[in-house]
Amino acid sequence: MAAIRGSNTAPERRVAAALRNLGHRPRRNHENLPGRPDFVLPRAKVIIFVHGCFWHRHRGCKFTTTPTTRSRFWKAKFEANVARDRRVTAALRRTGWHVLTVWECATRDPGRLQRLISSRISRCLVRRRKSR
Ligand SMILES: [Zn+2]
């Protein structure tokens, strides 16, 4: 799945639109940050990953299916993805970033997506002000 990283998928476009509607100017794909985040809001110190539910194993989500053939292969693949996500998030948080994960299934309704992103970013900003 590495090949689609960096491409502008529909969920990523929807997140970009929501961010712009909220007055943010998202930067794309920072090569030099761990995990090459999909969006970076440098001033708010917020990083946003747009994760596909299937590949990144959104817990309890109906899109998090498991193929019935080659189950060993898939299990290893999924575990590696989840472990990498965890490592990347930890590395970013250690260096002072707020990390938000937006699941693909949450991008389907633009209005809901915008409210979700808005509330999660403002929570980051509150935490940021408190820690100063
Ligand atoms: Zn999902």
pTM, whole model, 2 decimals?
0.88
**Encoded tokens for 47:** 């990083």
The per-residue pLDDT for range 50-98, each reduced to its tens digit, is 999 999 999 999 999 999 999 999 999 999 999 999 999 999 999 999 9
Residue 5 has pLDDT above 70, yes or no: no
User: CA 115, CA 128: separation in Å to the nearest integer?
Assistant: 20
Give me the phi and psi of 58, to 5 degrees please. -65, 115
Question: How far is ligand 1, taken at its centre, from the CA of residue 50, in Å?
Answer: 11
Comparing 6 with 51, the larger pLDDT belongs to 51
Q: How far, in Å, is the centroid of ligand 1 from the Cα of 56?
A: 9
